[in-house]
Structure 1
Amino acid sequence: MASAKESPTPAVIHEAGVSPPSALPPRVRRLVENPTYLQADEDLAFLRRPEMCGIRLQLDYWKTEETLQRYEICHTIVVYGSTRIPAPDLARRRLREARRALQERPDARRNQQALQAATHQLELSRFYRVARELGRIVGSARLTGALSSLAIVTGGGPGIMEAANRGAHERSAPSIGLNIALPHEQQPNPYITPDLCFRLHYFAIRKLHLLERAQAAIFFPGGFGTCDELFEVLTLLQTRKIRLLPVVLVGESYWRRTIDFDFMVTEGMIRVEDTDLFVFRETAEDIWSAIVEWHTRHRSGP
């Protein structure tokens, strides 16, 4: 964390009738060039201190919130999923390259493993197609109530997030991306609406914005991050900390192998009713139908 000694030399604003620092008496010049003279909102070292965490959280929240309000983004479909699932054309190119490398050096174990990985990636790329098509469907939706004026929102990265943003972009619909500052820089995918592309520092604020306007949460296959987000959403729903909304897990075979929900019920860790908080679906059309059916049922009552 930056210390006071690391504060930059204050920039003196040259206003009419105010002498530049070089023209000031030496003692006064030392005063205005001291880090303590820098305005608080211009002092990055001060803002980055641990004690200023609350202020930074508010800034992280409000910069995004103000823009979403200004663009009248009220209802969203949030799409979660792995950054590592490639577009089908990219997966096919990687497979061709892996086959070529193996033909050149058939005994190289690395090339054999690369071919296996590329083959599996091509199989997974079907989820990219589904997410992209879902983005198109949401981008074209013209419904009323909670499903009116929908916008796709993702974490703004590659893979599944890119696919969903891409589909919305192809329908000229709002395409929101909430990128996150990471040790290894992650660039936003190119299909986000420029004025709706954000970069946040705190995962907590990012998660809040992802869910705040969500009318459905769609989970494609993913790793630690996706599972973390899934369990947080399910926990918030289970404990009624957020209003009810449909949760769709895409790819039943993946999710049942990744998380043994039936085992959790058998062990008494969750109630059987808790498994009603989500459904499994495979295609974009079926995902959309599940969303519409859920909202129709809850609007009309039991």
Structure 2
Amino acid sequence: MAKKQELPERVFPKAKDDAAAARSAGVLPQTSDPAYRLAYADSEFLMRDDLRPVRFQLELLKPELLLDEAGIGSTFVFYGSARIPAPDKADAIVDAAKTETQQRIAGKLKAKSHYYEVARELAQIASREGGEEDGKHQFVVCSGGGPSIMEAANRGARDVGAETVGLNIALPFEQAPNDYVTPHLSFNFHYFALRKMHFLMRARAVAVFPGGFGTFDEFFELLTLIQTGKMAVIPIILYGKDFWSRVVDFDALVEEGVVAPQDLDLIHYCETAEEGWAYVQDYYQRYTEKRFRKGRGEKH
């Protein structure tokens, strides 16, 4: 019997091999001109305005591929302010305040500093209890990768030895990932739209802490996507009922007829980490039971 022939894995060279070959070409007027560069290895070409659709696709693909390779099945997303201090830094902010207005604002930030510890503890619980399913890590903590509430979330996951995702954004002023994001799960975005998309593509629960414009943007886009049926309902935990009731009059939206009463059922208020995790667990217990009844052909 003839020996089985081993077939080559591929017949075309890999892109990185062609790029290396191109770099080894001799120095000529032709090879020195940017036009000669391989298109995918030409960063100046990729920055052209005409290439915006390609950059969109790259920002969609890169995190998706790397998260999948890292075995991230689902995430627990944390939204919240980049300005709320950790409790041990709150007094320094108050002491640094000079004017009466600054002192008043510093006092309000200090009053919200306990949410740093709540976010950290919730992240600890989710990372410890999230488990695995189909070989994928579930409820992996994901934040915007920045300071304050975002830092607290990533820090909580790190506390219990879990990996944690950071979705940073390139801004005109300095913006670096916090120290607790897992390096190979630390991503940087140019487009806010793609970043917000990645927040929700794997999200199976979202905790929203007090925050400003950025938090509002992320929170209300999430509500809109669920309200309009563009994504499935997932647990949305809103921390700080006093804060949210003061800055957004949800009941007034219902009274004005621009929001349906049942839309407010999408939000569940909590104050402690234990309450938040219990709500997520209860939600998915009911979800599982509903699917079980449906699978047996029972009415629901």
CA distance in 2, matches of 1:43, 1:14: 12
CA distance in 2, matches of 1:250, 1:264: 20
1:32: Cα distance to partner? 2.0
CA distance in 1, matches of 2:36, 2:23: 15
Within-5 A mapping of 1:1-302: 13=22, 15=24, 20-21=26-27, 29-96=28-95, 110-142=98-130, 149-301=138-290
Q: What's the secondary structure of 1:240's corresponding residue?
A: coil
Aligned partner of 1:107 in structure 2 is none
1:70-101 superposed Cα distances (whole Å, 9 cap, x missing partner): 11100110000000001000112333555xxx
- Residue 92 of structure 1 contacts residue 122 of structure 1 at CA under 8 Å; is this kept in 2? yes
CA distance in 1, matches of 2:65, 2:137: 21
State the TM-score, normalized to the length of structure 1: 0.84
- Compute the RMSD of aligned alpha carbons: 2.2
Aligned partner of 1:24 in structure 2 is none
Letter in 1 for 2:94: L
- Residue 141 of structure 1 contacts residue 148 of structure 1 at CA under 8 Å; is this kept in 2? no
Aligned partner of 2:6 in structure 1 is none
Q: What's the secondary structure of 1:298's corresponding residue?
A: helix
Unaligned runs of at least 5 residues, structure 2: 1-19, 291-299
CA distance in 2, matches of 1:175, 1:201: 21
1:38: Cα distance to partner? 1.6
1:111: Cα distance to partner? 4.5
1:121: Cα distance to partner? 2.1
1:209: Cα distance to partner? 1.1
Letter in 2 for 1:232: E
1:14: Cα distance to partner? 5.7
Query: How many pairs are equivalent?
Result: 272
Q: What's the secondary structure of 2:112's corresponding residue?
A: helix
CA distance in 2, matches of 1:203, 1:197: 16
Letter in 1 for 2:109: Q
Letter in 2 for 1:136: Q
Q: What's the secondary structure of 2:145's corresponding residue?
A: coil
Q: Structure 1 242/93 Cα, relative in aligned 2: closer, same or farther at 3 Å? A: same
- Residue 249 of structure 1 contacts residue 279 of structure 1 at CA under 8 Å; is this kept in 2? yes
Q: Structure 1 40/13 Cα, relative in aligned 2: closer, same or farther at 3 Å? A: closer
Aligned partner of 1:102 in structure 2 is none
Aligned partner of 1:3 in structure 2 is none
Q: Structure 1 14/207 Cα, relative in aligned 2: closer, same or farther at 3 Å? A: closer
